[in-house]
C-alpha cells in the first residue's frame, strides 16, 4: 500500500468496503475508493492537524482537529464542512454516540 502523502498521518478511518480516509498534519485529508490503489486529496481548509475520525450510523463522516475543529461530511468523505466547539482548543479523539451524537476527548476533558 503506497502512502498518498510523504508527511505525518495520524489516522485511518474506513468508510465502506472500498472507501478509506487518512488524515494528519496541516489539514491533509486523502480518500481512496479502491482500497488504497489510488488516492485523492480532499480540501479541508485547515492548516492544523487532524487527529481522529469516525463514521456515524447514518454515514456521516466526522474528523476532529488539534485546533478544536470538527469536520463533517455527508457525501462519503468527498467534501467537508468545518465548525469549532466553543472553548475547545484541541480535540484528540471522537466516538459515535446514540442518536447521531459524538463524544470528543482532548484538552479540557470530554
Whether 2 is covered by a domain: the verdict is no
Split into its structural domains, the chain has a count of: 1
Kindly report the number of other CB atoms within 10 A of residue 56's CB atom.
17
Residue 22 lies inside a defined structural domain of this protein: yes
Which residues have a Cβ under 8 Å from the Cβ of 103 and sit 6 or more positions away? 94, 95, 96, 97, 110
Nearest C-alpha neighbor of 11 from the set 19, 47, 2, 25: 25
Q: Per the domain annotation, does 97 fall within a domain?
A: yes
pLDDT tens series, the chain, 110 aa:
778 888 999 999 999 999 999 999 999 999 999 999 999 999 998 999 999 999 999 999 999 999 999 999 999 999 999 999 888 889 999 999 988 899 999 988 88
Does residue 30 lie within any of the structural domains?
A: yes
Q: In this structure, is residue 3 part of a structural domain? A: no
CATH of the domain at 18: 2.120.10.30
50 and 92 in contact (C-beta within 8 Å)? no
Whole domain around residue 46: which residue ranges?
Answer: 9-106
> How far, in Å, CA of 16 to CA of 68, rounded?
27
In a domain, 60, yes or no: yes
Q: Is residue 1 part of a domain?
A: no
Domain membership of residue 4 (yes or no) is no
Amino acid at each position: 500500500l503506497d502512502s498518498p502523502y510523504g508527511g505525518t498521518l495520524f489516522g485511518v478511518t474506513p468508510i465502506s468496503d472500498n472507501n478509506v480516509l487518512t488524515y494528519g498534519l496541516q489539514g491533509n485529508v486523502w480518500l481512496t475508493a479502491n482500497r488504497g490503489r489510488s488516492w485523492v486529496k480532499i480540501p479541508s481548509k485547515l492548516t492544523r492537524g487532524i487527529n481522529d475520525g469516525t463514521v456515524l450510523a447514518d454515514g456521516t463522516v466526522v474528523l476532529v482537529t488539534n485546533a478544536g475543529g470538527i469536520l463533517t461530511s455527508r457525501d462519503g468523505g468527498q467534501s467537508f464542512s468545518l465548525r469549532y466547539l466553543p472553548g475547545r482548543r484541541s480535540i484528540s479523539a471522537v466516538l459515535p454516540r446514540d442518536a447521531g451524537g459524538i463524544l470528543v476527548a482532548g484538552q479540557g476533558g470530554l
